């Protein structure tokens, strides 16, 4: 079986969020199960591009409305990531340093999708499955089945579409319809949702099967899907939730190259202590106190806007009993508030506005607790990284957080959970964590040991995807 994953991100080539981590790991684990899994993404100008060796495998051309463009497909020669990696280059469109955030993102990703389909059309042996990820690749199933120039050869290939975050849909106005390749006008309903061309909706309508990145997230989408609730309800029979995993070879405290001090289950307490001391030295904090961290995008869906007040309240009600660090970038007002909070925190709080992969790993290893108060969390990977490193997650019961973290007050529990994305719920949960740390340190360490032994690797998820693929053949 040959699977082609089509995505906008793939770690370590290009990453803007959890999507990159998934696409960088899932194919590797699928290949270990005896299939051939490949990945194609745009050729961004990232360091990875210049560090590796590449070979040209295909050249072609397409039209984006009246604009003629040429594209090329290159392959990474060494199979360094554990799967065949292909990059598509289009001068003037895909030759950018960042993944997203350009005024012409619509044109960029449509040109990418057209190029993928044109390249596929040239394959002597077609793949058994085309697996597309999120709205940036959401028009691929439509183009394969409805575009005049492609459907004769591509419409019979089963397609799977994974919704990583339904809040981002890529919708655009019907006035731009001409940008799409020629297709049967009677099938325009497949593109439409609420009077716009909606790539996410189109993918849900036209893909053979649809997956979400956790079981609970699929249930939540029936009631809260950014306007697509009715569509998910209608298409529920072809939808399934498959929980993401993590690459346990990369996220391994015994060998992580980003860590100054490695540790195993047996040396967890000492290893985490040493890593915490390094972090506290860097941020000017007392390492004898429990350390709470937030790592992620500073946006509303992560409830990052609640952090400045929640941390301030926690400092007020638990004076001199804990330290707090925030790592992330996002909404400017939240960034400003988090920076200003340093002026009144008395050395018990600090933040790094931006993103550092090395610092994120150090925080997972050196923190005692990780905060995830998310309003929306389709799967969540940070809680899995944290537990892999023996760090207790404090999470809201939503999406994949609900599926992966059990409150320590419940049978078999090991984390701290709360129900509402509110300042009160966050600060109350922090107080629970502080009391646990000071009053029952032995129990806390036992919980951390238990978390390190939980299996959230990609092995199970990769097998679940293969089982899904087999039902389509």
pLDDT band of 233, cuts 50, 70, 90: very high
**Fold held by 268-452:** Rossmann fold (3.40.50)
* Segment 19-24 long-range contacts (CB within 8 Å, at least 24 positions apart): 19/133, 19/134, 19/164, 19/165, 21/246, 21/247, 21/381, 22/133, 22/164, 22/213, 22/244, 22/381, 23/133, 24/81, 24/247
pLDDT band of 13, cuts 50, 70, 90: very high
| pLDDT value at residue 18 | 87
For the chain, report the end-to-end CA distance as a whole number of angstroms: 10
* Half-sphere exposure at residue 422, Cβ-oriented, CA atoms within 13 angstroms: 6
Determine the Cα–Cα distance for residues 410 and 73; give it in Å rounded to an integer. 52
Express each pLDDT in 322-368 by its tens digit.
999 999 999 999 999 999 999 999 899 999 999 899 999 999 999 99
Determine the Cα–Cα distance for residues 10 and 157; give it in Å rounded to an integer. 23
Q: Is residue 222's pLDDT more than 90?
A: yes
Provide the CA 40 distance to its chain's centre, in angstroms: 17
Determine the Cα–Cα distance for residues 415 and 447; give it in Å rounded to an integer. 8
| pLDDT value at residue 66 | 85
Which residues are bridge partners to 51 per DSSP? none
* Half-sphere exposure at residue 470, Cβ-oriented, CA atoms within 13 angstroms: 7
pLDDT above 70 coverage of the chain, percent: 100
Which residues are bridge partners to 196 per DSSP? 193
Express each pLDDT in 369-403 by its tens digit.
999 999 999 999 999 999 999 999 999 999 999 99
pLDDT band of 145, cuts 50, 70, 90: very high
Instruction: Indicate the pairing of strand 129-133 with strand 159-163.
Output: parallel
- pLDDT (mean) for 319-324: 97
- Identify the CA nearest to 80 among candidates 174, 132, 168, 10: 10
Please give the mean pLDDT across all residues of the chain. 96
User: In the chain, where are the structural domains located?
Assistant: 2-247+458-470, 268-452
Against a cut of 0.75, is the pTM above it?
yes
Cis-peptide, bond into residue 12, ω within 30° of zero: yes
Provide the CA 101 distance to its chain's centre, in angstroms: 17
pLDDT band of 134, cuts 50, 70, 90: very high
Q: Is residue 473's pLDDT more than 90?
A: no
* Half-sphere exposure at residue 177, Cβ-oriented, CA atoms within 13 angstroms: 15
Task: Give domain 2-247+458-470's CATH number out of 3.90.25.10, 3.40.50.880, 3.40.50.2300, 3.40.50.2000.
Answer: 3.40.50.2000
Instruction: Indicate the pairing of strand 67-76 with strand 84-89.
Output: antiparallel
Express each pLDDT in 417-470 by its tens digit.
999 999 999 999 999 999 999 999 999 999 999 999 999 999 999 999 999 999
Provide the CA 369 distance to its chain's centre, in angstroms: 21
| pLDDT value at residue 225 | 95
> How many angstroms separate the Cα of 289 from the Cα of each of 265, 319, 367?
22, 11, 10
Express each pLDDT in 45-79 by its tens digit.
999 999 999 999 999 999 998 899 999 999 999 99
> How many angstroms separate the Cα of 34 from the Cα of each of 25, 28, 37, 197?
15, 10, 9, 38
Express each pLDDT in 259-292 by its tens digit.
999 999 999 999 999 999 999 999 999 999 999 9
Express each pLDDT in 159-183 by its tens digit.
999 999 999 999 999 999 999 999 9
The three-class DSSP label of residue 69 is strand
CB 144 within 8 A of CB 151: yes
| pLDDT value at residue 45 | 96
- pLDDT (mean) for 85-96: 96
The residues, ordered by sequence, that sit 6+ positions from 459 with a Cβ below 8 Å of its Cβ are: 29, 245
| pLDDT value at residue 246 | 93
């Amino acid at each position: 079986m040959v699977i082609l994953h089509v995505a906008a991100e793939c770690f370590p080539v290009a990453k803007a969020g959890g999507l990159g981590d998934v696409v960088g790991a899932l194919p590797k684990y699928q290949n270990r199960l005896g299939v051939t899994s490949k990945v194609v993404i745009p050729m961004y100008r990232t360091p990875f591009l210049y560090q590796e060796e590449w070979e040209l495998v295909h050249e072609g051309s397409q039209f984006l409305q009246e604009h003629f463009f040429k594209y090329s497909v290159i392959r990474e020669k060494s199979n360094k990531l554990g799967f065949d990696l292909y990059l598509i280059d289009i001068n003037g469109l895909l030759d950018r340093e960042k993944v997203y955030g350009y005024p012409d993102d619509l044109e960029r990703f449509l040109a990418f999708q057209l190029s993928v389909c044109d390249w596929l059309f040239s394959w002597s042996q077609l793949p058994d499955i085309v697996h597309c990820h999120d709205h940036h690749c959401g028009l691929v199933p439509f183009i394969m089945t409805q575009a005049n120039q492609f459907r004769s050869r591509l419409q019979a290939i089963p397609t799977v579409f994974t919704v990583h975050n339904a809040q981002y849909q890529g919708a655009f106005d019907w006035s731009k319809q001409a940008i799409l390749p020629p297709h049967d006008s009677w099938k325009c309903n497949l593109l439409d949702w609420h009077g716009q061309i909606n790539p996410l909706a189109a993918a849900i309508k036209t893909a053979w099967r649809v997956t979400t990145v956790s079981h609970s997230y699929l249930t939540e989408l029936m009631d809260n899907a950014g306007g697509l609730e009715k569509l998910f309800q209608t298409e529920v029979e072809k939808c399934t939730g498959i929980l993401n995993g993590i690459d346990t070879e990369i996220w391994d405290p015994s060998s992580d190259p980003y860590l100054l001090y490695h540790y195993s289950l047996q040396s967890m307490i000492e290893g985490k202590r040493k890593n915490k001391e390094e972090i506290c030295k860097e941020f000017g904090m007392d390492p004898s106190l429990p350390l709470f961290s937030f790592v992620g995008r500073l946006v509303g869906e992560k409830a990052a806007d609640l952090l400045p007040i929640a941390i301030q309240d926690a400092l007020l009600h638990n004076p001199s009993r804990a330290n707090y660090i925030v790592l992330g970038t996002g909404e400017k007002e939240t960034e400003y508030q988090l920076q200003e909070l340093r002026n009144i925190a008395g050395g018990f709080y600090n933040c790094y506005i931006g993103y550092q992969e090395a610092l994120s790993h150090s925080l997972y290893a050196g923190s005692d607790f990780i905060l995830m108060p998310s309003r929306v969390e389709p799967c969540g990977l940070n809680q899995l990284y944290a537990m892999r490193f023996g760090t207790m997650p404090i999470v809201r019961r939503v999406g994949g957080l609900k599926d992966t973290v059990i409150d320590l007050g419940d049978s078999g529990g090991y984390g701290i959970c709360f129900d509402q994305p509110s300042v009160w719920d966050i600060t109350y949960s922090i107080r629970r964590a502080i009391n646990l740390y000071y009053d029952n340190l032995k129990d806390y360490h036992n919980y951390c040991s238990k978390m390190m032994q939980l299996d959230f690797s990609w092995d199970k998820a990769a097998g679940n995807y293969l089982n899904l693929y087999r039902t389509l053949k």
